[in-house]
Structure 1
Amino acid sequence: MSEHKNGQKDAYALVLSAIDVGIYRPGDRLVESELAEQFGVSRTPIREALQRLETQSLLTRDGRSLIVASLDHNQLAELYVVRTELEGLAARLAARHAAPEEIRVLREMVEEDRGFLSDPEALSLANRRFHKQIHLASHNRYLVQQLDLVHRTMALLATTSLAVKGRGETALNEHEAIVAALEKRDGEAAHLALKNHISKAFETRLKLDALSVRI
């Protein structure tokens, strides 16, 4: 692979990661020259990375500038519809195909993640790891690819619903129910538990957004 191609890939991954971890948040302007200096990459792969992120709707135009996109109410609802169905399918397949070791890892994650209840950002990262592990345990590469796209778009949410008082503990209890169903190899129960988990997360997100509205 050429140096140019490596640079392009690295630049894309660097900018995407910066959005993903919240260094750049919805509404932030991304300047090609500043990004090139920050990441130590030439401007050409940065420009191509920004164009790629724009085609994926992670960036949007504000005049001549590119800014990190944000999700309106309808986009958020559409995203959660897709996420609910795909995540539910992943849980159903994981109940069928996950290795015993994969399920034990999920069990350990739930137990260890309780140590993050006082740190919403750390809990949010742990939550993403947990969901990713379920995706991988489905052993369906095409489903994993689609869920990667969904979770990449989730990075456009400026705050985590796990910061809402009590939501972190409730979410971990929901994770507990998902793992219990996987341990029993009950695909239907795992499917329903995961869908319920995403539904509750969406409900919390809507309440959080409602509180931010100024009348």
Structure 2
Amino acid sequence: MKPAPQDAYGLILDAIDNGTYQPGDRLVENELAERFGVSRTPIREALQRLETQSLLTRDGRSLIVASLDHNQLAELYAVRAELEGLAARLAAKHASEEEVRVLRQMVEEDRALLNDPAALSRANRRFHKQVHLASHNRYLVQQLDLVHRSMALLATTSLAVEGRGEDALAEHESIVSAIGAGDGDAAYEALRAHISKAFETRLKHDSGRDPAL
């Protein structure tokens, strides 16, 4: 069964998110229509929407997947740290017992993925999304969705760096403990520190330095 036309945006976004299309790749309307089995009109509309969201950029007459320079990356992580920290603070106040249990289960189950950075990266996004939802603030969730769409422009995951997966799960555990304890300040600080460490790891990895140094 062919995807519904309204799915064109999501299909292209998922393809960017999973690395099928990476920063610098050119997106051609008729090729996308053929790949996804969707007519060209919804593909064209989806491309326009992605360009408006700065996920695509112009290279002459072509649309390519955007990339982030150093300043954009720093700006993105700064906003992400503050918004995710706020989500954790609100989750500590509003999360149900069931939501906290789900977060704990995620951390435990994700330990089985430590040798698979790609799978761990997907699990990491699910964990963060669950924290966002546990904030019970729809406007914050919407803004974080936009931030995480921009994260799809990063061609690699910091979780691929040796040892980062174990550290990230330990940080997730601290975040969940603070949320479960209803300690908003601790949850905020734990999540901000987690994002800061991820950014630091990425900077060292991208510069070619040993992250252990």
TM-score (norm 1): 0.94
1:86 aligns with 2:83: yes
Which of these residues, 48, 52, 62, is aligned with residue 51 of structure 1? Answer: 48
Deviation at 1:176, TM superposition (A): 0.6
Residue 110 of structure 1: aligned partner:
107
| TM-superposition CA deviations, 1:162-203 (whole Å, max 9, x none) | 000000000000001001111111110000000000000000
TM-score (norm 2): 0.95
1:209 aligns with 2:206: yes
Residue 137 of structure 1: aligned partner:
134
What is the DSSP-based 3-state SS (H/G/I as helix, E as strand, rest coil) of the residue aligned with 2:63? strand
Deviation at 1:9, TM superposition (A): 2.2
Deviation at 1:208, TM superposition (A): 1.2
Aligned length: 207
Deviation at 1:82, TM superposition (A): 0.3
Q: 1:36-47 residue pairs with structure 2 within 5 A?
A: 36-47=33-44
Deviation at 1:13, TM superposition (A): 1.2
Q: Hey, what's the Cα distance between the residues in 1 that align with 2:147 and 2:107?
A: 22
Q: Hey, what's the Cα distance between the residues in 1 that align with 2:164 and 2:9?
A: 33
Whether the aligned pair in 2 keeps the contact of 1:95 and 1:183 (CA below 8 Å) is yes
Q: Hey, what's the Cα distance between the residues in 1 that align with 2:5 and 2:48?
A: 11
What is the DSSP-based 3-state SS (H/G/I as helix, E as strand, rest coil) of the residue aligned with 2:208? helix
Which of these residues, 165, 181, 194, is aligned with residue 162 of structure 2? Answer: 165
Instruction: Give the ranges of 4+ consecutive aligned residues of structure 1 lying more than 2 Å apart after TM superposition.
Output: 6-9
Whether the aligned pair in 1 keeps the contact of 2:27 and 2:65 (CA below 8 Å) is yes
Whether the aligned pair in 2 keeps the contact of 1:7 and 1:45 (CA below 8 Å) is no
Structure 2 unmatched ranges of 5 or more: none
Structure 1 unmatched ranges of 5 or more: 1-5
What is the DSSP-based 3-state SS (H/G/I as helix, E as strand, rest coil) of the residue aligned with 1:211? coil
Which of these residues, 178, 195, 204, is aligned with residue 175 of structure 2? Answer: 178
